[in-house]
Structures are given as C-alpha cells and as structure tokens.
Structure 1
C-alpha cells in the first residue's frame, strides 16, 4: 500500500473528513475514517516517532493539539514519552497492549485515560492504532459500625482491616479518589486527627509538604503498580515529620478497587517507641536467617544463644569453637581474626568478629561473635582475579574502551584503551562540547547520533553499529560500538552502557581482500585474453601458412597423378619442389612449438633458453640485446625455470610495446642461494604510478608468478633513462 497520501493534519472541529481529498476513497486513512470517524471512542494513529498521522472526530473534539503534535504532548503536556506508553510494545514487540497513561479531573470527577495500542505493519513500517477509553474513578463511602467492622458487605475486607488494626505501621484505606474510608489505631495515635475524617481527602488530612504528583500517582495505581514517594506531614504536636508513603492498589472479591497507604516514619523521638517491637522482630529474623553464624557467650564461657548457621558450623567443624576461644584475646583486641578449621573432608577459613554486649546489669557480661566463611569468597576472589587478567588480555589484543553516555552525549566512567583508540586523554575529553559524537567522522555523524538518540527513547534496547571517528592527530579510523541502555525501576532510561572496539585493521584487511579479489579476477581475465590471443595467432599460422603449403603439395601431387607419362627430369623437379615444401612445413611446426614451449628450455636449461629468446627478440624487433650470462649451467627446478622464462618473455614483450628502447641489457647471475635476473632498457622509463596501477595486469601477472615460487619482482624507472626489472628467486 502506498503511503504517499498520509499527511499530518491540524484540528478543525467543523471538519467532517480528516484525510487528503486526493486519495479518492483509497488508502489507509479512508479505511480508518470509514470504520472509526463517527465512533464514540477516541481513536488515533501514530507513527514510530509518536507523531499523529490520523485521528477521528471524537479525538479532535476532546483533545487540543497542533500540527506535528506527538501523543505525549497531548496527554501529558510533556516533551518525553509516557512512562506507561503501550505503543512501545506495539513498536518493539509487535503486540497489542493496554495501559493507563494519564489522569485528569473533569467537573469534579477524576478520569483516567486508558490507551489500547494495536500494531499495524504496512510496507514494512510499524504504526500504532490507539483507542482511548475514559474510566471514571468512583467514590466509596466509609463508615464505622458498633462491632468495629467497616464494610458489612465485604467480610474478607474486614479481615484485612482487622490485621491492619493491630499493626504498628500507620495505615489508611482510601477509594481511588483518595477519600479516606478507614484509619488504623496506630495512625490515629500518631496524627490524632479530628473525628470527621472519613470521606475526606487523604491529602487534606495529612497536610503534605509541597505539591504532590497526584495525577501521576493515580495513573500508576490504575496500572496496578505500587507507588512510593517521600514527603513531610504534620503530627499532632505540630512538628513536621519526614515520611515515606507507599500506595498499594487492592481489589475486593466484588471487584471494588481500593488504595492502601502505608506510612513509614524515619525520625522523631515521640513515634520511635511505636516501632520497637517491629524493629526487634525484623532484627531477629535477620539474625536467624542471615548468612553469618552468630553466637553469644556469657562470662563463664557458656553459649547462651546461637543461630542456625553457627550451629551448622559447630557441627561440621567440632574443633572450631576451641579455636575461637584460643584466639579470643586477638579477636577483641583487633576486632576480628581469621581462623582455619578442618574436618576429614575439607578445610575452611573463617573470619570471626567479636563484639562485647553492654547490658543494664553491671554483673552480667556477654560477648557476641559473628562468623563468616571466607572459603567461598576466596574462590570468588580467585575467579575475579582470573577474569580481570583475561579481560586485560582481551583489552590489549582487541583495543577496546568502555564508557557511559548521558542524554547530552557526555561520557563518564571511562576504562580501557581510550587514548590508543581516540588519541585523546580521558581528562581532556570528558568535558568536550558534544561529548562522544564530536569526534565522529562527518559522513557518519547523523547516523551515529540517530542511533544514540533512539537508545534514549526505547528502554531495554541494544544495538551494534560501525562508523568512523577522527583521532586527535586527524587520522580517520573505523570503530564498532555495542550499546545497551540502563533503566531504573520506573522504566526511565538513565544512561547508555557502551563498549567500543578499534576495527580499523580489520576494515583495512577487508579492503585489501576486496582489492586482491578484484585484482585476481582482472588477472584471470588478462590471462584468458592472452590465451585467446595465442590461440588466434596459432590458428592464423596453421591456416595461412601450413594450410597454404599443404594445399600446394596437394595440387602438385594431383598434377603428377593426372600425367600418365612424365619425363624423368620433370618428375624429379616436382618431387624436389614437394620436398622443399615439406622442409618449410617442418620449420614452421618447430617455430610454433618453440612459441608454445621452447625445446631449448627442456634440453639445455634456463641460461640457454634466455640466450635463445634474446636472439629471437633481437631478430624480430631490431632492438639490440647485450647478454651477461654465467658460464656454468644453473640447476633450477622445472617449475622455477618456467617462471623465470615466462617472466623474461613478458619483460621483453613490454619493452617492445611501451619502452621505445634501442638497447636491452640482460644479466643473469647467482647471489648466495638466489637466482637474480636483471633486465634494463634505455627507453622512456616507466612512471611510478603505472607500476601499481590496477590496469597494469602484465606487471601484476609477473609478480604473481614470482610469488608462486617464493620469489620477488621489483621494477624501477627513470624518465628518459630507462626501466630496470629485477627478478629474484630462491634456488633451493
């Protein structure tokens, strides 16, 4: 489906159509209008950047917006995405989801907006079609009865309230509008409210300090989330007391919804004693269920208390207690001591800490001991040290750097090879204007910035991308960055965790490989063209010369056969003529055979073959050749002899084609274990750029031949002086 007709629209309450007239009833917007334009439910469509693409009449009437509006601008009057936005699931997971996104007051009634988002994929683009449901928050009347039950019609709720009544934490039960339905005894003692508190607003009773985010609290509670925030309230003594309030949504069996508000008081002496028993219970559970062994001795050395962990240690290591008593003086002098205990199966090391206990009685003295098994920690420490060493090795070999990026692209917590990768010292770079993206290569800047920006919009997302950076010295290098975003408990993105690798050598290797593959393809085509040219030349010689001789011989033989009576001298003349033709044909066959592979190479070796080829070259081109060859024959393998001869042929061919030379000096010699062939001409001289040019396939072919036998070919030229080619090949 073509989306060319989709346009962002502006609000017009008198407008009956919300699509471009050019669509003529076709396309997505026409379909949406026909289905939802007159619905009583607000419906709108957004793209992956949360911009409004279409909305029905109900939406346009209920909400104010302008061109290029985004959905969170409309609902929250905010510049950031709603924390509970269901469209995130539509875009990221391609699945529908409903969430409450905002709460507002309409004529004294609180209304929560619930958005149901449905993903729509068209032309490989994801859109979210959203339906807005308005849910009024009902009020419930609270009342007290003579038998202390608050809600006659809800026995299970009364059981819960009975539990609240006996807790030492101040608790209030409200409806979804925060109208008070119940206060437990602890709250009444703490705040001492007036008698008329039921059905009043919680926020009026508690007199919180500052303005609270009531709409945000209501929205999160509507999504069945717990909400925690801190503030100050006024006690009956008119003091301001800091509190942490936790709002917990609950639902009764008849589906009525309530909010339980728990108040955790942190200071003030007049309320501290209220929590003595609860704190004692908490400490007891921590001691009983903790990972440390704890036991207490009186001044007679008798154990008056031990938790389960200490009992297990005493049972597993029977001599452990004696070891503790031996080190008692050290434990209380230094505060702690390491003690080793063994049994038949294992040996463990423990850290024992000692704490004297002061009591009201001057006659009773107690000592407490805390035991921690260090064996597992030592194993973990060894594993961590091993991991650190491994990471250090990986860091040295991979050249990587770890850092965090905030929403302004500033970097913090830098570790690793930062200077080696960027050329900047960490301390001089951390405060740079645009942070990390400032060193991104201009051609990659917008792509990298968009990738980082996207990571700040979608939580729990990870990405890997490659790009170039400009180092402090101006050098351009390739890097690869792996990014993950870190979110808090509310889903807000705090920062990006990044690890960046230097992949410049890898990229250069890829480019070299790509270039090498291209050169090999071109070389293969070049050799194929040489073969075709050689075949064409051979076909010409066989057809035009050998064919001509054979045709002439056939005519002579036919003439002889037709004559019944021939004089002897005429017959001898014809036969001698045919013998001359056969001799000419034999010479031509030898010439063709020598072009394919000179027999002198097989019978007399590389020195004789070079001498023969030089004479043939001089005969064909009239370019004088001066030879300097060793007197003794060089013992060279067949494969290496062929390489030397073919490279020599190619050198002479290039001289004939390009050099405009009149003389060639050929020098063949043995230097150590190497055969060295040097060919120099007095031509125009090759240019340096032509030596490495991709079109110089003849030169590339000679170098490849040399490499095939572990040899090396070098070429140098001086303008108007000439060109020198040196081939070096190991003999053994």
Structure 2
C-alpha cells in the first residue's frame, strides 16, 4: 500500500515526467544512427549521424543524472545512474564500432554516476542543513524568551521576535550594530565592553542582569544566560544570549519587600506597645498584689497557719507570674536592644536561655564589633530569637552557639546547635509544606535587609542557621 502511494505521488511530480522526457530524447539521440532516424525525421541528420563523437552523445545523459541528483538527492541519482547504465551498455556491446567500447561505456557510467552520487550527497546534505537552519530559525523566532546573538566585537547577528516585541526595534534596525549603541545605559557600556574583551580568555559570565532602553525610552530589566559558540578551532565565534524580561517581577518583589517591611514595622510597634503595657500595667499590678499578700501574711492580727500557708502559695504564684510577664515583655521588645545594641541583647538572650531552660548557650564575636542600623539590628535579633526558640522547642539540643562575625564590608550571624537535625528540603517553599514556618519567617526577614539566608542540617548532626549581609 505504501509503495503504491509512493508510485502515485511520483507520477504526479512534474520533475519525474521531465526526467522521463529527457531520458527518452537522449536515448533516441544515442541510438539515432543505428535506428536510421535521420531518414524519417526532417531534422534528424543534424543529430543522429556520426558527425559528432559518440562520447558527446553519452555526455548528454549527465543532464538528467544531475537534475535527478539536484531534485531527488541520493535516491534519484542512484535510480537515474542505473537507468543510464542499462541504456548505454547494450549499444556499447552490440552496436558501437569503437575499440574496447564496453570499457569506454563502463568508464563513462562509473565517472558520471560517481559525480551524480556526489552531487546527490551534497544536495542531500545541503537540504538537511537548510531544514535544520529553518527549524532553528523558526524555534528562535517563536520562542517566548529573548534570543540575541552577538559576534566577538559586540555586533548584533540575530535578534528574534521576542526582542522586537520587548524593545520596539525591528531586526533590520539593529542587525550589524553594536548592542551598546542601541540598548545599554551609558554607565553599563564599559562593563559590556570588558566582558567582550575577556572572551578570548574564556571569561564569559554565564548569567547577568542589565537594563535595556526600548525605542520609546523606557527601561526593561533583562536577566541573561550566555553561551559561547565555538568554531572548529575552538575560538569563540558568537555569543548566544537568552533573556527573560523580569521588570514586572522585580517590581513586584520590591513592592512585596516594602509591604513586608511596613508589616514588620507595624508588628514591632505593636510588640513595643504590648511590652510597655505589660511592664507598666500588668507587671505593676502583679507586684502590688504580691506586696498586699505579704502585708496580709505579716498582719499583726493573727491568721491561722492554714490561711498563712495558702497566702504564701498565692504570693509565690504571683511572683512566678510576674517573672514570666517581665520575661515575656523583654522577649517582645528588649530595651537592651535599643539602649545597648545587638551584641548586648544577644548575650542577654543566651543567658536567659541558659538560666531558665537548662540549655547551654553562648555568644562568640569575631572581628571588631560595631553598631548597625536600628532596623538591621532588630531583624538580626529576631532571626536569632526565632532560631534559638526552634532549638529550645524542637532540636533536643544541649548546646547552642550564636556567632557574630564582623568584617569591613560584611556581617555574618550564625546560630548553631548540637540537636537532632533534620532533612533540609531543596526549595524554600517546601518548608511551608513541612510546617516549618519559623524558618520561612527567618528567610523573609533576611530578605528585608538584603541578606543571604541559609539553613544547613542533617539528621543527627545538628542545625546551622546563617545570615550574611553587606554593611
């Protein structure tokens, strides 16, 4: 069924009929003298006599052979070469008066077939390359990402439709021009030229971000991934860059950061208000209540021993509640943080942890301590507070260490414990699925101060929380 369909399609192809006509004509010319065609065709004498060398008649078959190779590649070249062999060889054996006619015919057919097959191979290779090029071109043009190809001098070689939509420029307007002459901000041009100058040394950054200026003058932030394209000698021939417009994404992230910062500020103000009320009202009332019970216990009017014992128990409970309220007030908003800074507040927090929860805790300092901004110190304190709270509640640890490392341009906060540890998920969002919301909160707080947050842990090997920020 498939072969029958192939035959029908071949019969519908005009090039097949053209080849058939050429083969019939050249066969008639080749056998014309033997068939005495010059006697019954008025123009036959000019073609079918021996006035032309017989090799010239054979050479005419090169025309359909090459045409078949050009149109049908290797398969067409092979079929026509075999047909010519079948046409030429009988004449050489039976009719030709030439010396050694078979060898001459076979030599011609071999050489002609070889040339035809080589042409067919070249045509087939060219068509495959063209199909591959057209496929890649269509893929590049229909891709949603920006695709930019530069030569080593920074001139634009390829500019896909996504680039056109994003910038407002057409390919014809930018091809052959330097990328920095059209799109880059003046302050980013030296960096782009330095990158291209580093190409011979293989110092091409795999990823980078920069702003592009569009045709209407607006700016778009593009995240690029770069890949060098090498020639056969291993030298960089082109730079292929694929980009994603992250302008809206970055703006949304900035809006979320500002929103989170405002929410955090509101939370801290509310914490401060509650801590003040606990300290000024609740704690004072509890202290007054304990004092009244003391006065009642020591009253000159004799109370029964049972009543005194009950009052002493009530006073002890009041004292315990008072200490808890004061500790809770300090946790909400430690005055030490505002008055003396982050280091003193961390030392107070680790001492409280050691005294009240039997968890050996300490603070280590590396480098020369210095004060940071109020907002930064508050965020770092909250991260350390949450990390130590997790150690106390979940880690089953006996030791926790808070380390502050100061360098001229960085500050690193690390909280380490020797607890049971856990399997750290690959994505930050998986912490929510696992119910580890405290870690997510630390991550979000670190983002508020543009810090890098990391959690390292393994089952049975403790946990390490690290925040690094420029200062």
TM-score, normalisation: structure 2: 0.38
Q: Give the number of the structure whose alpha-carbon radius of gyration is greater.
A: 1
Say which structure is richer in strand: 1
Say which structure is richer in helix: 2
TM-score, normalisation: structure 1: 0.27
